[in-house]
Chains A and B, each alone.
Chain A
Amino acid sequence: MRNESPAASTIRIVKRLLLVVVGMFGFGFAMVPMYDVICDITGLNGKTSGRYAEAEPAPVEDRKITVQFMAQNSEGMSWYFEPNDPQVTVSPGEVKVVSYKVRNPNAFAMVGQAIPSVAPNEAAQYLMKLECFCFQEQPLAPGEEVDMAIRFFVDENIPEKITKLTLSYSLFDITDYEISGDEITAR
């Protein structure tokens, strides 16, 4: 033992341990952005995290990849929401535009937001979106209908064994949420 009274050394130990407690409480919250970074790198859960590619590449003609589109309404979301084309076939690097039809059948205005997900999840990082409605608030007046477009290409580095990938959008009713679009993309 060092030259300090037992009481002093107890206080020293307690201070250090309290620091650990505070640190680990913070660590719990730090797991949130850490998880997002890991998702971003690995495509975990197929979350495409709204990444936009900068340049348009040249198509690789000798490979064909089927891209399927799925629409899914979350609970309490009564909008009509369907892809206009259930699937398209593209070559890696080929830029394609597809769209979803969305319509608010209610007698009141609502705000919706679509969250993307890709299967298989390792394909998520190869699906490059140049334009997308993901994570964007979409207000619709009663009876209003719009086409929401996605402009995308499949990265040429996509593994050979992936010949089909599925892009799914889940549409949520966020009328009651007071979150701005910026915060959502930042999260």
Chain B
Amino acid sequence: MSASHDDHHHGPAKGLTRWLYTTNHKDIGSLYLWFSFAMFLLGGTFAMVIRAELFQPGLQLVEPNFFNQMTTMHGLVMVFGAVMPAFVGLANWLIPMMIGAPDMALPRMNNWSFWILPFAFAMLSSTLFMDAGAPNFGWTFYAPLSTTYAPSTVTFFIFAIHIMGASSIMGSINIIATVLNMRAPGMTLMKMPLFVWTWLITAYLLIAVMPVLAGVVTMMLFDIHFGTSFFNAAGGGDPVLFQHVFWFFGHPEVYIMILPAFGIVSAIIPTFARKRLFGYDSMVYATASIAFLSFIVWAHHMFTVGMPIAGELFFMYATMLIAVPTGVKVFNWVATMFRGSMTFETPMLFAIAFVVLFTMGGFTGLMLAITPADFQYHDTYFVVAHFHYVLVPGAIFSIMAATYYWLPKWTGHMYDERLGKLHFWLSFIGVNVLFFPQHFLGLAGMPRRIPDYALQFADFNWISSIGGFLFGASQLILLVVVIKCVKGGKKATPQVWEGAQGLEWTLDSPAPYHTFATPPDPKLIHAQ
């Protein structure tokens, strides 16, 4: 607090050091967002290699080993490099403005938690240029493939994960401290925008599970270098234990990547429907229940490891239960649109696509929860289709919606609506052509993570690849839109959108470098 006090009412410093030493939440938010976009393009490039190799049967472009490195790096970079930092970036930019705080509670730690990330990813990516090659055991890195049988670069991978974990934990502590401690007078918990609520819950999830991830990679490190046998059956360990610990982290991690998206969509839909969000309270409770349930469903990722039937049933029932709070959310969004006065600017288009396509990912999630059916779906392209539906038109569409929605507030200019709509429609078509046929591939029996496939899978694979190339290329439009918008464009008003509600819209556009140095007028704070 005292640190940020000193430079109140000063503009940003000049040059590179502004970004290196910054403790300003808006600067750090921008850094996170640019970093995440760079990682999105990097992870996307890996995905393009995968789709190009799978364009037709046979091995054309890459060796199977390199293919495995691509699937692994694609997963790691997208999860830890693109989606999570993007949400942290949005949190940095928006949470202080939404709750009427001058900055984050711990601005110096904020700087640090960002700046260690590029090192983590530089370390991880550098393995691509080493003799032993990048990690090739899948982003889920199941032992013993990732321990006894791993390339020597696994140690770089482990340390990279440690750093990413530390960054996430610091980011979360900061967000929790900010939300609990820095709210403007009158901003009660139940008046907070849902984005703040969902991030608060996400931050708690992160604090609970990132240390477990750190624990599991530490155990791997010990198994590899210090002769312990946590996951090595030879010494009395158990490879299945790895999966239990990993998914104890991994399942909440999935919700970490979707809860903030719920918050974003809950902000955008009411704005463009010009109607208050339906069922705010139930949204908060549903988010909390999803977070709670996320801790007791992890073994649904492991239905085929041979658990006792009682375990399989427990995890099946618990997983099915998640459909209830998730359903409540979807119904609430639809009820918000119902009898509204809707317009369809780019953020709204992305938000509507989010609701539809995320729900489809939810349906396949429900199907996957059914244990006997999962025996057929498990580790096939059906699973790939499922989690890409919840992550790409789910999490990533919400990030894009948020970018379009708040871009005028960040830059002070309106973005190019025509280009925005073009980006949306190409992405929407691309993503469905890319992932919808993968449902069929999985049901017909194509396993995931294979560089080559039997001939009956050929047709849907080339269709999927075409969709992939379209989706990939379309993302460059987003880059153009953002750069254009930063450089100029129609001046944005403070409220930007006719139906926008909330403290950030009471500020000028662009938002001044320092905001809410004095708390906002409590009269401005409305129930959501």
A residues adjacent to B (C-beta < 8 A): 6-7, 9-10, 13-14, 17-18, 20-29, 31-32, 35, 39, 42-45, 47, 74, 113, 115, 121-122, 135, 170, 172-174, 177-179, 184-185, 187
Contact = CB atoms under 8 A, between A and B. Distances in A.
B1 A7 contact: yes
Given A29-B219, A174-B234, A10 B241 contact: no
A184 B211 contact: no
A42 to B, nearest CB: 6
B227 A45 contact: no
Contacts of A23: 211
Interface in B195-216: 207-216
Given A6-B1, A28-B216, A185 B248 contact: no
Contact of B211 (A25, A178, A185): A25
Main secondary structure on chain B at its contact with chain A? helix
A23 B229 CA distance: 23
Contacts of A39: 238
- By Cβ-Cβ distance, the 9 closest A-B pairs, closest first, are A28-B215, A172-B234, A25-B211, A24-B211, A28-B212, A184-B236, A13-B177, A17-B173, A187-B236
B241 A35 contact: yes
Q: Chain B interface residue count: which class?
A: 35 or more
Given A6-B182, A24-B211, A35 B234 contact: no
Contacts of B177: 10, 13-14, 17
Contacts of B190: none
Interface string B223-250: 0000101100111111011001100110
B215 A121 contact: no
28 contacts: A6-B181, A6-B182, A13-B105, A13-B180, A14-B106, A14-B177, A21-B169, A21-B207, A21-B210, A24-B210, A27-B211, A28-B214, A28-B215, A28-B219, A28-B245, A29-B219, A31-B212, A32-B230, A32-B245, A35-B238, A35-B241, A42-B310, A44-B311, A45-B240, A115-B234, A122-B308, A187-B229, A187-B236
A24 B212 contact: yes
A179 B234 CA distance: 11
A32 B181 CA distance: 37
Nearest to A122: B308
B306 interface: yes
A17 B207 contact: yes
Contact of A177 (B209, B219, B233, B234): B234
A28 B222 CA distance: 14
B17 interface: no
Given A7-B2, A28-B216, A29-B219, A45 B238 contact: yes
A179 B229 contact: yes
A153 to B, nearest CB: 23
B211 A13 contact: no
B176 interface: yes
A10 B241 CA distance: 37
Nearest to B248: A31
Interface in B318-376: none
B162 to A, nearest CB: 11
A10 B181 contact: yes
B211 A22 contact: yes
B181 A18 contact: no
A22 B180 CA distance: 21
Nearest to A176: B227
Q: Which of A18, A44, A121 has the most CB of B within 10 A?
A: A44
Nearest to A11: B177
Contact of A10 (B105, B219, B229): B105
A4 B180 CA distance: 14
B307 interface: yes
Contact of B244 (A29, A35, A113, A170): A35
A174 B235 contact: yes
A25 B238 contact: no
Given A32-B230, A115-B233, A184-B236, A20 B106 contact: no
